Amino acid sequence: MTSTDNSPRPYRVPSGTRDTRRHTPKVEMKGLYQRAIKESFVKLDPRIQVRNPVMFVVWVGTLVTLLLAIDPNLFGTLQADVNKQRLLNGLITFILLFTIVFANFAEAVAEGRGKAQADALRATRSDTIAKKILPTGAVQEVSSTELRRGDQVKVVAGDMIPADGEIIAGIGSVDESAITGESAPVLKQPGTDIMSSVTGGTRLLSDELTLRITADPGQGFIDRMIALVEGAERTKTPNEIALTVLLAVLTLVFLIVVANIPPITGYVAGFLSTSTGEQAAAELRNGASVAIMISLLVALIPTTIGGLLSAIGIAGMDRVAQFNVIATSGRAVEACGDINTLVLDKTGTITLGNRLAAEFIPVNGHSLQDVAQVALNASVFDETPEGRSIVALATQSGATVSFDPKLAEGVEFSARTRMSGTDFEGKEIRKGAVDAIKGFVRSRGGYVPNSLDEAYERVSKLGGTPLAVCQNDDIYGVIYLKDTVKPGLRERFDQLRRMGVRTIMLTGDNRITASVIAEEAGVDDFIAEATPEDKIEVIRSEQAQGKLVAMTGDGTNDAPALAQANVGLAMNSGTQAAKEAANMVDLDSDPTKLIDLVTIGKQLLITRGALTTFSVANDIAKYFAIIPTIFAAAGIGALNVMGLKSANSAIISALIYNALIILVLIPLALKGVQFRPLTADQLLRRNILIYGVGGVVAPFIAIKLIDVILPFS
């Protein structure tokens, strides 16, 4: 028989700290910045700029100031030195151009990592020769691009797996480092939900597999990954659209404000020319020239957030990818940040998942040897890790299979019956959930001894899974399947609670076991004896209360629930059905990663909120810094609280600050603001305090400094 050493659910014990769980990017960072600098200029294309209303206003403004640098009197004669005006307008054009270039650079750097990753992936996707199995049974060598969904192929050790597929025969170890970056080989085998699917572009290291192809050319997992990391499918999320609309409205408001300044200054200048003199009036009219008004407009509209918005979104998806999770959309990543309820299954998610047989407990007057014997007979065909561990323990206890397996028939485990077993010579041998076996025995006129409940309670109170074993109507005993709660989970659930996320454990196991494990792991709630239908029902009822639900799963019977959840995280080791239903796939098959994803999603939302707050606060501060200086130039000095040198110096300083702040904030946009596990309300208050107040103060200080440094009079 197979040994139980190979636990098919790979699990790395979480260290609690994030960085060891994070994968170092597999991409070459060298050249990324050079490429981004080049891209920053390519992105000046108006067809790209027009997608971002705020930056497009800057783009149009740059064009107009460029024309004004060539002919300063384009919109009417100014009473000023033409060469001086030309120089000033040229300088403004230059700063505006770099405002756009810096914003482009932010986006290009954010995209760069994905592009490099896509190139690395593309290299693995080269055409390979596949051994196609013809209907006659003969094997024909064809190009992998000729394979279609439903074809069968043979793969031998050393071969590249030609396309995504489901194993129908054979067991083998696969090197999946091309997609996961993890060099340890992964054992693959058919039958069970777990580990039966393989990905095109990975390599078979040992043995031989027969596959059924599940994806047409260009539709495979790696193709999808390339499209995703490259951002080909990146569309604005609903949140991003809402924010873009808000920013466009703000831009319009400032456009109206700025457009009203020249009439006002013109009116005031009229007075000045008769009272103070013609010189002051001219100063004021020049101060409200078209080039200056464009500069003012750019300084006031939310260019900081407008320039960084897409970089923040791309970086969020990238952070998810660095955790080895493939998200199908930016929307899925954002949804993680809004999650209220996290649904986790017990076995393999909360516990280590290698439920191994630890003990046989006889009941009903049977001997230990009898239980081992019947348990072995019941498990001969059971390929689940539980089944194989029972075979191993029974064999250790000296039991041997007492019939010819060729004459017997296996009864596969199903989550609905919660039983599995063997039929031979008219005997029905079963093992399964205690309730299920009780029902089975009673329906055959059998009797349920009290000692069964004692054994059942003993195992359950230890947090173990009790399986009852019977032959026909006779209950033999209980198998104690031992499982361990993963270390460090309590802290992670506490953290989620502080973020306002409720955790629910779902299990097919009995109530006592469920409550013991729930207590030990520190989840908020649990549901025991859950059928696959119950899983969807739980998600639906949470959603009916207006909550956003996330769930992890790996089995085919998890697929409907994964599709129903707002965030469905499928394990890469799981079935194709689960992976297709989910909107995220974890390449490491570590279900607790959902906790990291919630953190990443929240951080994405907070980063966007923080930088929006900062940007708008900045613009308000700039308004009060610049407007008074324009009037001060005409001798209305009381308004110039900041004591800036001149109207021109104030404008240029503000513009330089406006461009540089984008560059300065790129690292923050890409890395995300510092994250604390707090509720949304607490985070909002914290953000307004730091980024709102900071956003008002920063420009005053920075503009004053630049003004002092600038060689203007």
Ligand X SMILES: Nc1ncnc2c1ncn2[C@@H]1O[C@H](COP(=O)(O)OP(=O)(O)OP(=O)(O)O)[C@@H](O)[C@H]1O
Smallest gap from residue 435 Cβ to Mg ion (A): 17
With binding defined as CB under 6 A, does residue 108 bind ligand X? no
Q: Any binding-site annotation on 196? A: no
With binding defined as CB under 6 A, does residue 115 bind ligand X? no
With binding defined as CB under 6 A, does residue 536 bind ligand X? no
In 10 A of CB 409, how many CB atoms?
A: 10
Residue 489: in which H helix or E strand, if any? helix 489-498
In the set 151, 223, 382, 619, which binds ligand X (CB under 6 A)?
Answer: 382
Strand order in the sheet with 208-213: 139-143, 129-133, 152-156, 208-213, 165-169, 197-198
Single-letter amino acid, residue 328: T
Per-residue burial over 36-47, b if 16 or more Cβ lie within 10 Å, else e, is beebbeebeeee
Residues in Cβ contact with 47 at an 8 Å cutoff, skipping those fewer than 6 apart: none
Residue 115 or 502 with smaller CB distance to ligand X: 502
Smallest gap from residue 297 Cβ to K ion (A): 9
Burial class (CB in 10 A: 0-12, 13-18, 19+), 611: buried
In the set 432, 574, 601, 677, which binds ligand X (CB under 6 A)?
Answer: 432
Residue 422: in which H helix or E strand, if any? strand 419-424
Residue 501 or 617 with smaller CB distance to K ion: 617
As beta bridge partners, residue 549 has 341
Q: Any binding-site annotation on 159? A: no
In 10 A of CB 287, how many CB atoms?
A: 25
As beta bridge partners, residue 357 has 481
With binding defined as CB under 5 A, does residue 575 bind K ion? no
Residue 97 or 505 with smaller CB distance to K ion: 97
With binding defined as CB under 5 A, does residue 552 bind Mg ion? no
* Contact of residue 384 among K ion, Mg ion, ligand X, none (CB under 5-8 Å per partner type): ligand X
Per-residue interface string for the shown chain with ligand X, residues 338-367, x marking contact by CB under 6 A: -------xxx--------------------
Site size with K ion, rule: CB under 5 A: 2
CA distance 665 to 657: 12
The first and second tokens of residue 41, run together, are: 């200029």
Residue 101 or 448 with smaller CB distance to ligand X: 448
CB 513 within 8 A of CB 463: yes
Smallest gap from residue 154 Cβ to ligand X (A): 30
With binding defined as CB under 6 A, does residue 381 bind ligand X? no
Taking alpha carbons only, the member of 36, 159, 6, 57 closest to residue 102 is 36
Q: For the chain, how big is the Rg over CA atoms in Å? A: 34
Q: Any binding-site annotation on 173? A: no
CA distance 72 to 193: 73
- Its sign, for the CA torsion 473, 479, 485, 486, is negative
With binding defined as CB under 5 A, does residue 351 bind Mg ion? no
Stretch that binds ligand X, among 92-100, 248-256, 506-514, 665-673 (CB under 6 A): 506-514
Rule CB under 5 A: which of 483-512 touch Mg ion? none
Taking alpha carbons only, the member of 703, 712, 705 closest to residue 628 is 703
In the set 62, 303, 379, 503, which binds K ion (CB under 5 A)?
Answer: 303
Residue 103 or 343 with smaller CB distance to ligand X: 343
Residues in Cβ contact with 224 at an 8 Å cutoff, skipping those fewer than 6 apart: 326, 328
Q: Any binding-site annotation on 370? A: no
In the set 281, 284, 530, 551, which binds ligand X (CB under 6 A)?
Answer: 530
In the set 389, 507, 576, 607, which binds ligand X (CB under 6 A)?
Answer: 507
With binding defined as CB under 5 A, does residue 347 bind Mg ion? yes
- Its sign, for the CA torsion 129, 131, 133, 138, is positive
What's the Cα-to-Cα distance from 431 to each of 270, 434, 483, rounded to whole Å?
A: 98, 8, 18
With binding defined as CB under 6 A, does residue 526 bind ligand X? no
Stretch that binds ligand X, among 105-113, 238-246, 304-312, 507-515 (CB under 6 A): 507-515
What secondary structure does DSSP assign to 223-249, as a single string? HHHHHHHHTTT----HHHHHHHHHHHH
Q: Any binding-site annotation on 81? A: no
In the set 8, 10, 410, 508, which binds ligand X (CB under 6 A)?
Answer: 508
Rule CB under 6 A: which of 34-53 touch ligand X? none
* Contact of residue 605 among ligand X, K ion, Mg ion, none (CB under 5-8 Å per partner type): none
Q: Any binding-site annotation on 216? A: no
Stretch that binds K ion, among 154-162, 168-176, 658-666, 693-701 (CB under 5 A): 658-666
Per-residue burial over 3-22, b if 16 or more Cβ lie within 10 Å, else e, is ebeeebbbbeebeeeeeebe
Stretch that binds K ion, among 54-62, 297-305, 354-362, 477-485 (CB under 5 A): 297-305
Return the percent helix, strand and coil in the chain, to nearest 5.
55, 15, 30
345 has catalytic annotation: yes
Smallest gap from residue 495 Cβ to ligand X (A): 22
Reduced 3-state DSSP string for 339-381 = CCEEEEEHHHHHECCCCEEEEEEECCCCCHHHHHHHHHHHHCC
User: Which DSSP category does 639 fall into?
Assistant: G
Active-site residue identified among 175, 223, 345, 588: 345
With binding defined as CB under 5 A, does residue 576 bind K ion? no
Q: Any binding-site annotation on 386? A: yes
Binding positions for ATP are 382, 386, 413-420, 431
Residue numbers in the known binding site for Mg(2+) are: 554, 558
Q: Which residues are known to be catalytic?
A: 345
Q: Where do contacts with Mg ion occur on this chain (CB under 5 A)?
A: 345, 347
Binding site for ligand X (CB under 6 A): 345-347, 382, 384, 386-387, 413, 415, 418-420, 431-433, 465, 467, 507-509, 530
State the binding site: 382, 386, 413-420, 431, 554, 558
The site for K ion (CB under 5 A) is made up of 303, 658
